[in-house]
């Protein structure tokens, strides 16, 4: 009887682990997310805000807290070489294997990675050849390491483009938007770079079941109709939906397995005129 009870307990424990951590690629099933075994997954995750992208309000910088202005202040204080060294150490130490191990022990089953595009590719204004893409190793290496730590802990990693080329919103802190340069929505080169980056990521991670999904653009907030500056009142949102379709098409050329996650205008609150079947919405 003791052996029988032990087996029952072990079976229930294994089932619990499966339901907590999931097995295999996530996919959408109506309004649910399920894993490769058909189990419904409730994603309990931590967002790694501040690692790849510093947002001023997280650092309690109340005035002009975009990362590029923070870097400029640090450069003025200690010089370019030391500033570069500071950010190398920041990226190296802000998020470690021990942090991921702890998140798993605390019961989380996923991590959301807010990415700054400039760790993966050059800004359009710095490209040696206009319209081409220079790929940088740093962002991919950091993501690979994080993914390995997630894999070891049976966690899903959700890739989130938090700072798209040019910046995707008037709320400049959250996307490192520089109003002196063309935004994502004002530059075809920025949009093409965004599409190319997602295709590159999809090619790299197409066979990775611990990638939980691709969150295409974090909280766009931009008016295309001359209304509320953050896009809360726009009725069509056509540039956003068009770009999502282009990105999704590029992803699907390399990866037909991973969930694609989209966010509406106005910080993810405005989904008016959305017609994008087959795309799951992340609220």
Give tens-digit pLDDT for 181-194: 999 999 999 999 99
pLDDT per position as a tens digit, 1-19? 444 333 334 333 434 444 4
User: Which pLDDT belongs to residue 275?
Assistant: 75
What span, in angstroms and rounded, lies between the C-alpha atoms of 129 and 279?
34
Q: What are phi and psi of 34, to 5 degrees?
A: -125, 160
User: Which pLDDT belongs to residue 18?
Assistant: 43
User: Which pLDDT belongs to residue 14?
Assistant: 39
Quick one: average pLDDT of 72-76?
96
DSSP one-letter code for 143 = H
Quick one: average pLDDT of 71-87?
97
Using the predicted structure, report yes or no on whether residue 278 has a pLDDT greater than 70. no
User: Which pLDDT belongs to residue 64?
Assistant: 83
- Domain borders along the chain are 23-53+95-281
User: Which pLDDT belongs to residue 63?
Assistant: 76
Domain 23-53+95-281 -> CATH class: alpha beta
Mean pLDDT is lowest, of 20-24, 90-94, 254-258, for 20-24
What span, in angstroms and rounded, lies between the C-alpha atoms of 153 and 104?
6
With CA atoms as reference, report the closest residue to 22 among 146, 145, 108.
108
pLDDT per position as a tens digit, 153-182? 999 999 999 999 999 999 999 999 999 999
Mean pLDDT is lowest, of 16-30, 143-157, 220-234, for 16-30
User: Which pLDDT belongs to residue 176?
Assistant: 97
Neighbouring-strand partners of residue 156: 110
User: Which pLDDT belongs to residue 61?
Assistant: 87
| Packed helices 137-152 and 97-105: angle between N→C axes, nearest 10 degrees | 40
pTM above 0.85, yes or no: yes
Alpha helices in the chain (DSSP H): 2-21, 67-78, 80-93, 97-105, 137-152, 188-205, 238-254, 265-268
User: Which pLDDT belongs to residue 5?
Assistant: 36
Using the predicted structure, report yes or no on whether residue 276 has a pLDDT greater than 70. no
User: Which pLDDT belongs to residue 15?
Assistant: 41
Q: 118 falls in which pLDDT band (50, 70, 90)? A: very high
Q: How far apart are the first and last CA of the chain?
A: 48
Using the predicted structure, report yes or no on whether residue 282 has a pLDDT greater than 50. no
Using the predicted structure, report yes or no on whether residue 37 has a pLDDT greater than 80. yes
Using the predicted structure, report yes or no on whether residue 22 has a pLDDT greater than 90. no
């Amino acid at each position: 009887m003791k052996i029988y009870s032990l087996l029952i307990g072990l079976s229930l424990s294994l089932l619990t682990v499966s339901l907590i951590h999931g097995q295999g690629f996530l996919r959408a099933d109506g309004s649910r997310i399920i894993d490769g075994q058909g189990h419904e997954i409730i994603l309990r995750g931590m967002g790694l805000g501040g690692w790849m992208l510093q947002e001023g309000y997280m650092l309690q910088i109340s005035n002009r807290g975009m990362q590029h202005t923070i870097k400029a202040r640090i450069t003025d204080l200690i010089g370019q070489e030391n500033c570069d060294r500071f950010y190398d150490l920041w990226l190296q130490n802000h998020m470690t294997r021990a942090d991921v191990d702890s998140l798993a022990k605390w019961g989380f089953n996923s991590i959301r990675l807010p990415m700054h595009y400039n760790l993966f590719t050059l800004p359009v204004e710095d490209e040696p050849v206009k319209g081409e893409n220079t790929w940088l190793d740093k962002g991919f290496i950091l993501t690979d390491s994080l993914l390995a730590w997630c894999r070891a802990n049976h966690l899903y990693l959700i890739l989130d483009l938090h700072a798209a080329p040019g910046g995707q919103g008037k709320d400049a802190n959250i996307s490192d938007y520089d109003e002196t340069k063309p935004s994502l929505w004002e530059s075809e080169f920025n949009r093409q770079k965004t599409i190319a980056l997602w295709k590159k990521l999809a090619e790299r991670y197409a066979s990775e079941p611990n990638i939980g999904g691709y969150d295409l653009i974090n909280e766009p907030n931009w008016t295309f109709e001359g209304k509320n500056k953050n896009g809360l009142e726009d009725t069509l949102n056509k540039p956003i939906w068009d770009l999502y379709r282009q990105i999704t098409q590029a992803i699907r050329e390399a990866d037909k397995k991973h969930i694609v996650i989209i966010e509406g205008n106005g910080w993810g609150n405005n989904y008016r005129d959305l017609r994008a079947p087959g795309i799951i919405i992340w609220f």
